[in-house]
């Protein structure tokens, strides 16, 4: 069995996926038409041609613009369903998806429209494809602490259907510390916590995410490798890193995939996972991230199995479900 087939059959979870980042140009144009919105591009090809980024902010500017076509509950449902169809095709069986409510509520789209639409898509995906999922609310870090608190308040009626909160958007200049109080409030409500840290920001931001936010997972974490004491701490705590290789390549966090730190992370005993981040913008969904990374880093079957196991041990699934998936992975690895 070749590596691509081995990867496809390996049960996998995706732990770092921005649902707004799965908005394909074709769907963006279809929703713009449905909602009577003019896009500043004349065609899907012209839009795709604009996807050249040299840093995170280049991408964020275009990503927030693209999200403006999302207006109705059906738009959010269709978006989610399209993602789960891709995930299932790649052999993904579970996803914990980020959404950015402020990107929508700041345009007058109610929180409930966003959440109801996504939850409808998630329920339909489970019924149709058997894929499980949960929802993670991300605060936009370029906005204020006060705005994050207001968003948490809007989420109140949905907290039984939201697994946790995260922190995304422009990293440099917006350290985790800015959100320490809102994260403490989220933890008090029983939510899991995670933050993007060390994507472009320094190791100090990863330290802050650990010590001031008390996160359960780190999103990205690449730059943690610059600090040996931090690596030791992440390894000791068994903290999962949700790493996004094709995103890192597209946003120039790495020069090429062969130089990607994922293999070093595994060698250092870190619980790294492979994820797609914003697949419609970065050239590939979960399977493409796995295949390209496996090839560029010459990952062994054993390392691929470790990555698949990490995607479940780092998930927020119930312990019995995690054990069931780990047993499935081991049975698959033993039989191939």
Residues that bind ligand ADE (CB under 6 A): 18, 21, 56, 63, 168-169, 196, 199, 247, 277-278
User: Could you confirm whether 211 is annotated as catalytic?
Assistant: no
14 binds Zn ion (CB under 5 A): no
**Minimum Å distance from CB 220 to Zn ion?**
7
Stretch that binds Zn ion, among 65-73, 87-95, 272-280, 305-313 (CB under 5 A): 272-280
Q: Which of residues 11 and 203 has its CB atom nearest to ligand ADE in the complex?
A: 203
Stretch that binds Zn ion, among 58-66, 229-237, 275-283, 316-324 (CB under 5 A): 275-283
What's the CA gap between 166 and 111, in Å, rounded? 16
Name, in order, each residue with C-beta under 8 angstroms of 27's C-beta and a sequence gap of 6 or more: 78, 79, 82
Q: Interior CA angle at 297 toward 292 and 302, to 5°?
A: 100
20 binds Zn ion (CB under 5 A): no
Q: Which of residues 141 and 192 has its CB atom nearest to ligand ADE in the complex?
A: 141
Query: Using CB under 5 A, which of 6, 277, 307, 309 touches Zn ion?
Result: 277
Q: Which of residues 240 and 247 has its CB atom nearest to ligand ADE in the complex?
A: 247
Partner touching 21 among ligand ADE, Zn ion, none, CB below 5 to 8 Å by kind: ligand ADE
Partner touching 169 among ligand ADE, Zn ion, none, CB below 5 to 8 Å by kind: ligand ADE
Q: In 3-state terms, the chain is what percent helix, strand and coil (to 5)?
A: 60, 15, 25
Enumerate the β-bridge partners of residue 134.
96
Among candidate residues 14, 96, 171, 199, the one labeled active-site is 199
Buried b (16+ CB within 10 A) or exposed e, 186-206: bbeeebbbbbbbbbbbbbbbb
Q: Which of residues 217 and 309 has its CB atom nearest to ligand ADE in the complex?
A: 217
Task: Locate 104 and state its tokens.
Answer: 């929508």
Q: Would you say 18 and 277 are in contact if contact means Cβ atoms under 8 Å apart?
A: yes
Q: Would you say 14 and 275 are in contact if contact means Cβ atoms under 8 Å apart?
A: yes
What's the CA gap between 78 and 85, in Å, rounded? 11
Q: Which residue is nearest to ligand ADE (CB)?
A: 168
Q: Which residues are catalytic?
A: 199
């Amino acid at each position: 069995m070749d590596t691509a087939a081995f990867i496809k059959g390996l049960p996998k979870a995706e732990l770092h996926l921005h649902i707004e980042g799965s908005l394909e140009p074709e769907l963006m144009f279809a929703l713009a038409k449905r909602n009577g919105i003019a896009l500043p591009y004349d065609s899907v090809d012209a839009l795709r041609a604009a996807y050249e980024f040299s840093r995170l902010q280049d991408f964020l500017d275009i990503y927030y613009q693209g999200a403006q076509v999302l207006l109705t509950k059906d738009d959010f449902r269709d978006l989610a369903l399209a993602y789960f169809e891709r995930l299932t095709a790649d052999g993904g069986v579970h996803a914990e998806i980020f959404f950015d409510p402020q990107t929508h509520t700041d345009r007058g789209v109610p929180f409930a429209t966003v959440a109801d639409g996504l939850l409808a898509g998630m329920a339909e995906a489970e019924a149709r494809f058997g894929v499980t999922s949960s929802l993670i609310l991300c605060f936009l870090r370029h906005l204020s602490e006060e705005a994050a608190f207001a968003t948490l308040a809007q989420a109140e009626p949905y907290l039984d259907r939201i697994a946790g909160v995260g922190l995304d958007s422009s990293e440099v200049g917006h350290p985790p510390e800015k959100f320490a109080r809102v994260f403490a409030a989220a933890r008090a409500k029983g939510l899991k916590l995670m933050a993007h840290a060390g994507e472009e920001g320094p190791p100090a931001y990863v330290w802050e995410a650990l010590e001031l936010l008390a996160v359960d997972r780190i999103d990205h974490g690449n730059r943690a490798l610059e600090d040996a004491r931090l690596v030791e701490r992440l390894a000791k705590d068994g903290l999962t890193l949700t790493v996004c290789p094709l995103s890192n390549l597209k946003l120039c966090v790495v020069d090429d995939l062969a130089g990607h730190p994922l293999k070093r992370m595994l060698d250092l005993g870190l619980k790294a996972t492979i994820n797609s981040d914003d697949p419609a913008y970065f050239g590939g969904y979960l399977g493409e991230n796995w295949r390209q990374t496996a090839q560029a880093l010459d990952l062994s079957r054993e390392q691929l199995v470790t990555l698949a196991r990490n995607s479940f041990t780092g998930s927020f699934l119930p312990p019995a479900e995690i054990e069931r998936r780990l047993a499935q992975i081991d049975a698959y690895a033993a039989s191939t």
